Structure 1
Amino acid sequence: MNTAIFLAAQAAGQGSPLPMIFMMVAIFVVMWLFMIRPQQKKQKQIRAFQNSLQEGSPVVTGGGIFGTVKRIDLTTNKVEVEIARGVVITVDKNTVFADAQSSAQQQQAK
């Protein structure tokens, strides 16, 4: 009698792997929608801003320094940023991000 119950329980445990595969795919899709895709969109916006830099643009460096673009050297991929009157630093173009205040003003204008 116990053997019949054990065999029935064992047979019931061996189901189709389809629900498990479906669950794994669903988890990946949710992760992609909520984590990977927004990060890719944000990176695209940052790259577009970096490629459209102009002299006089307000920026924030990767280190959190606010300033204004004074000169862009595309051959060396460097940007000169004025952080105070007469104080100019040179940073890599990839570490320059949009100024938070100017971004907020642009969004309010929309």
Structure 2
Amino acid sequence: MQGIAQFIPLILIFAIMYFLLIRPQQKKLKEHQAMVAALRRGDQIITQGGVLGKVTKVKDDGEVEVEIAKGVTVRVVRSTIATVVNKTEPAAANS
């Protein structure tokens, strides 16, 4: 019984680490993946490098084309997009 009592603090430390560090990080990762999956043409974005631009083309292979100035487009890997500044509204369905 005394041997098990010595492991209780260690188990509590792992439980606290899980709830304070691991779970929030997993939640943040899922939110980022959902944001990147929902990218559309016309969205204004900021990359992790700090480049501001507008999405001009969404490709299937994990890339997007971003216009950073008039007539200047660059290809950006989707996972490097940090935030979406302005989201375009979805096209209205004709009823």
Q: Distance in 2 between matches of 1:50 and 1:36?
A: 21
Q: Deviations over 1:11-66 (max 9, x none)?
A: xxxx8122221111100011011111111000000000111110111111122211
State the partner residue of 1:42. 28
**Number of paired residues?**
87
Residue in 2 that maps onto 1:21: 7
Richer in helix (by share): 1
Larger Rg: 1
**3-state SS of the aligned residue for 2:42?**
coil
* TM-score, normalised by the number of residues in structure 2: 0.81
Structure 1 unpaired stretches of 5+: 1-14, 104-110
**TM-score (ref. length: structure 1):** 0.71
Q: CA RMSD in A?
A: 1.8
The percent of aligned pairs where both chains have the same amino acid is 33
- After TM superposition, give the deviation of residue 102 of structure 1 in Å: 4.7
**Residue 69 of structure 2 is aligned to residue 90 of structure 1:** no
